[in-house]
Structure 1
C-alpha cells in the first residue's frame, strides 16, 4: 500500500465503522440530525488515525493533527449541548417530506439515509480533511519510505497556525455570543417578523462570524500542510469547506428564512455577509 493509501484508506475505514452504528442509532431514535454532532468529531477521527499511523511523531505532524482535533472537539461539544434533546433538525424533516411526496415512505427514507446522509457526510469529511492525510503522506503512487518526513515547523506553518487561531476565536466567540443571545430571547413570543436580530459583538462586523472562522481555520490548516511535500495538492479542501459554508448548508440556506424579517433586511444592508468589515452607515 502506498503511503497516501495507508492514511486515506484507514481513515475511510474507521469513519465507516463509526458512521454505520451512528446510522443504526438514528433509525431507532428517528433522528437523522445526530450526524450533525458527529461532523466535527469525524475530523478528529481522521487526524487521530493519521497520527497513529505516522512512523515518527514529529513536532510538525503533531501540529498538523492537533489543529483539526481541537477544532473538531470544540464543535462537537458545542453542537451536542445545543442539539441533543431538541428533536430532529427541520432540514431533515423537510427532506423526509419531500421524499414522501415522491412516494418514498419514512422507513425507506431513513434506510437510504445511510448513504445519502451518513456516508455522504463521511465522504465530505475525507475530502475536507485532505490537508491532514496528504500532509502526513510522503508519496502518491509508489512506496516513498525513503523520503524524509517533515519535522520542523517552518514559517508557512506558523502563518497557517496564526490564521487558524484567528478563525478559532471567531468561531468560538461567535457561537458563544449567539448562544447567549438566543438564551436571552428564548421567551420572546411576538411575531416572527419582529424577532430581535443579533447585531453586536463580532456579529456587528460579519453576519456569520462562526462560518468565517470555520473557513479561516481550514485555510490555516491548508497552509500548515503546504510545508509538507504534497500539501499544496489539498487546496481543494478549504475551497470545498468555504463553498459549503457560504453556498450549500451555511449562510445562504440560513438567510433564506431570516431575510423575511424587516430588521434582518436592514442588518443585511449594513453588515458584511462573510468577511469581517466595518458596518455601513444607515
Structure 2
C-alpha cells in the first residue's frame, strides 16, 4: 500500500462514515429511540470496513482481502443483531437520553454534531481492517492464524457476556448482574470488544509492510472510546443512578474492564 492509496482509503472511510452517522441521526429523530444509533454505526462500520478490505487499494492478494472482509462482516452481524434485540426492548438509550435532556432545545443539532465526531473516530477502526486486508503476503501466515484466534476469542467472549446479561434479564433478575463473566468484570463485553480489535494489527503485521503498524490505532481507538468516552463513563453514571449503593459495592469489588477475581464479598 502506497501513501496515495492509504490517503484514498482514509478519505473514503471518512466520507462513508460521515454519511452513515448522518443516517443514524435521521433515524434517531424519526424514531425517537437513540438506541438505533449504535445499530446503524455497527452495520455501517462493518460495511465500510469490508468494502475497504475488498477494494484494490494495495497489493494484498484476493483471498487475504476476502478473509479480512468476512471477519469485519462477522463482527458487524454479531454485535449489530445483539444491539437490534436490545434496542427493540427500550424506549431510548440511557446514555444518549441524558445528553438530550441536558442539551434541551439544541439536542438535535448537538447530537448530529456528536455523531459526526463519532464518524471521524471510527476511521482508525476501518483503517485497521483495510491495512490487515492489504498486507502483501499470502494468506495463512502464522500471524494470520494468531489474529484469527484472537478474533474468535473476542467475538465468542463478547457473545457469551451479552447472552449472560440477557439471561439475567429474562429470569427477572433484579439489581446488578454478577453472573458468569459479570462477576469478574463490570464490562466483560467491552473487554472482549477490545480483544477482537487487536486481531487486525496482528494480521497486518509484517516486517516488509511498515504501514501495518498503523493498524494498532484500531484497538487503541476502541479502548479509548469504551473506557474513557462513550462506553464505561456514561453507563456507570446511569447504573449508579439506578442501583445506588448496590452498584458502588459492585464497583468496589469488581474490575472495571479486565476480568479478574472479585475483591471479597458484596456487603
- TM-score normalised according to structure 1 size: 0.80
Cα distance, 1:25–1:274 mapped onto 2, change above 3 Å: closer
> 8 Å contact 1:61–1:151 — kept in the other structure?
no
Name the counterpart of 2:42. Answer: 40
CA displacement at 1:82 relative to structure 2: 0.9
Higher Cα Rg, which structure? 1
Matched, 1:278 2:261: yes
Within a 5 Å distance, the mapping from 1:52-201 to structure 2 comes to: 52-54=54-56, 58-84=62-88, 86-100=90-104, 105=105, 108-117=106-115, 119-137=116-134, 149-185=136-172, 195-201=174-180
CA displacement at 1:137 relative to structure 2: 5.0
> 8 Å contact 1:247–1:253 — kept in the other structure?
no
Cα distance, 1:32–1:66 mapped onto 2, change above 3 Å: same
Q: How many correspondences in the alignment?
A: 257
- Of the three residues 235, 241, 256, the one matched with 2:237 is 256
Matched, 1:266 2:249: yes
Gaps of 5+ in 2: none
Cα distance, 1:76–1:217 mapped onto 2, change above 3 Å: same
Question: Could you give the per-residue CA deviations for residues 143-171 of structure 1, whole angstroms, max 9, x where no partner exists?
Answer: xxxxxx33222222222221221111211
Across the aligned residues of Structure 1 and Structure 2, the Cα RMSD in angstroms comes to 2.5
> 8 Å contact 1:215–1:241 — kept in the other structure?
yes
CA displacement at 1:226 relative to structure 2: 2.0
